[in-house]
Chains A and B, each alone.
Chain A
Amino acid sequence: MLLDLPSTRTEAWRWSDLSALPEIAQRAKSGVVPTALPWIDCGSESPRLVFVDGRYDEARSKAGPIQIGRVLASAPDHALARLAGQQGWSLKLGEGHAAPGLIQIVHLTSGAADHLAAEIVLEADAQASIAETYMGEGWTNRLTVIALAKGARLMLNRRMLGAGGFVSLTDRADVGEGASLTVATLAAGGNDSRVDSQINLSGQTAFAEIGGALLARGRQRHDANLVLRHDAIGGASRQMWRSVADDRATASVAARVEVARGAQKTDGVQSLKGLLLARSATVNLKPELEIFADDVKCAHGATVGELDRNTLFYLASRGIGESEAKALLTQAFVADAIDRIGEEAVREAYATDVINWFSQSSLVPSEVEGRS
């Protein structure tokens, strides 16, 4: 496959480094599936799906309301998502229907590249909660198209725990009247990533919350690009992102809020924070507000800092060693983003992933180290 990839000279891609993708896409895949998959114990017989190298693994899955096959989703304007194709999974819930418990999806890429599309359509007052986990070491490329009708509720949680490789996630969402979309993303593995979310609040009093924590070390790069567009009256949006970078890694978040002329009474809150665990690391934050209505409330803040030396000494004086102190304080730093996850089992699993990230410094693969 010939890849036509955007360069860092393009504004929307300036913090991404896609140069390794052609090489990653050529890597051999082993197809090996670990015996223990990272299921979140949510105490019920809820649906579980496994995709291995982009193919649905029926034997390991229990699809529930999820359908596998052709999907109506495309994003021809997006450099990566346009490769997603039209095969994948879909969730369509009729009026007032609720999905049975937490739907868990594990995407395992054992090498090379795999592309999948997904479509989530919730009719009026339908609700679903989905948790996706990305693991492996190839290039995992996904497009998710979401449509929420009046009063529908979708909770979408994602975590990237790959040993290496690259994960690209592109979302296109439309949030209807009084509907609610929450997306929480955690990057706590050894992979690089690019997240693009374009969310339209098209109905009155629609709500969207999109946030997450990006943890990067070695020469890892995480890059999230978010556009929240308010098109109707009385919408509310929340963006809560925490970026952490150690060694020579880069964690970037560009978040834009657009308020259209007619979208009066919009209530937008944006909080972007970065934490540098080493002077050689990079955090990029780009908050943007574009407001064409005059009666709106948009609070925003962006700060980057280091761990406080007084605090580190205070912890040391109580016997806590440097690495443990860093882990404790970083965990506290990202808690703002993780604590907002509604599903308790998911929230706890993500908090554990953050702690594990500190004990797995060997996750950063040598091929990533050798780049640049």
Chain B
Amino acid sequence: MLKIENLHAEIDGKQILNGLTLSVGAGEVHAIMGPNGAGKSTLGYVLGGRPGYEVTQGSVSFEGQDLLDMAANERAAAGLFLGFQYPVEIPGVSNVQFLRTALNSQRRARGEAEISAGDFLRLSKAEGEALGMSMDMLKRNVNVGFSGGEKKRNEMVQMGVIDPKLAVLDETDSGLDIDALRVVGDGINRIMRQPHKAVLLITHYQRLLDIVAPDFVHVLADGRIVRSGGPELALQLEREGYGAIAA
């Protein structure tokens, strides 16, 4: 589904990714772990197409398409979802309006008909309820006045409504208490643990991986993957620290 080869990327002339290679197949959950400054968030932004991140070498293909050749909104329409570490507040735009605009933009880009008002309302209500977000909250402005945990749950509501093929989730577990972590983790499993979908979980900690069990774990250091393994690698990292393993 996703093939990253020898990816080099920089921001403001500073090299962050140094030859990252990774392959993610359908039905798989991959966890990317690593110390601060390793390039984890940069990987998410480069995949999402954030302006300012320049790819200097390497390639990324998503379902056979050249991902790097697509604008951010085209990547979304192709089925890529980027979960933000710090979701943005948008005063004056309600969650419902935002979600409906997003969903219909993607549908139009794929040549599909727009969703009807009734169907959209049912869908967003159901996804909201599954993640503990009431319709009242969904009618409020996007993330404005939301707590850190509510913002992360809102990311999952968006993911549920948009229903992507590949989710790249950047520290979706940060800022969550234990209960919220459970809600978000269950959300990821419910929405994304399907044979035709895949997840790239960028995280610092084991605790989310206790709920969303990864098939593969990779250690990112200095902009490249220095070690890959199964779920046991995450446990080893938790015990021994990055220093011992990334060295």
Contact = CB atoms under 8 A, between A and B. Distances in A.
Interface of A: 308-311, 313-322, 324, 328-329, 331-333, 335-336
B190 interface: no
Nearest to A308: B88
A144 to B, nearest CB: 31
Nearest to A339: B92
Interface string B100-112: 0111011001000
Given A322-B73, A324-B105, A317 B92 contact: no
Contacts of A324: 101, 105
Contacts of B101: 320, 324, 328
A323 to B, nearest CB: 10
Contact of B92 (A310, A313, A320, A333): A333
B93 A316 contact: no
A316 B88 contact: no
Given A315-B90, A329-B90, A329-B92, 13 more contacts: A308-B88, A317-B76, A317-B82, A318-B162, A319-B102, A320-B101, A321-B73, A321-B105, A324-B101, A329-B93, A331-B92, A332-B90, A333-B92
A336 B93 CA distance: 12
A316 B87 contact: no
Given A311-B88, A318-B162, A332 B93 contact: yes
B84 A318 contact: no
A313 B73 CA distance: 9
Given A328-B93, A329-B90, A335-B92, A317 B51 contact: no
Given A310-B88, A324-B101, A317 B48 contact: yes
B131 interface: no
Interface string B48-87: 1111000000000000000000011101110001101001
Contacts of B97: 328
Interface of B: 48-51, 71-73, 75-77, 81-82, 84, 87-88, 90-93, 97-98, 101-103, 105-106, 109, 158, 162
Contacts of B90: 311, 314-315, 329, 332
A155 B162 CA distance: 43
Contact of B76 (A319, A332, A335): A319
A328 B98 CA distance: 9
The 6 closest A-B pairs by CB, nearest first: A332-B92, A319-B76, A316-B72, A318-B102, A319-B106, A314-B88
B105 A320 contact: yes
Chain A, interface SS category: helix
A335 B93 CA distance: 9
A310 B102 CA distance: 16
B135 to A, nearest CB: 20
Nearest to B102: A318
Nearest to A320: B105
B105 A313 contact: no
Nearest to A324: B105
Query: Which has the most chain A C-beta neighbours within 10 Å: B71, B76, B97?
Result: B76
9 contacts: A314-B90, A315-B90, A317-B73, A318-B102, A318-B162, A319-B77, A321-B71, A332-B92, A332-B93
Given A319-B162, A324-B101, A328-B101, A314 B87 contact: yes
Contacts of B87: 314
A227 to B, nearest CB: 29
Contacts of A311: 88, 90
A319 B51 contact: no
Contact of A318 (B49, B76, B92): B76
B158 A318 contact: yes
Contacts of A315: 73, 90, 98, 102
A349 B48 CA distance: 37
Contacts of A335: 92
A104 to B, nearest CB: 28
Contact of A320 (B48, B73, B75, B82): B73
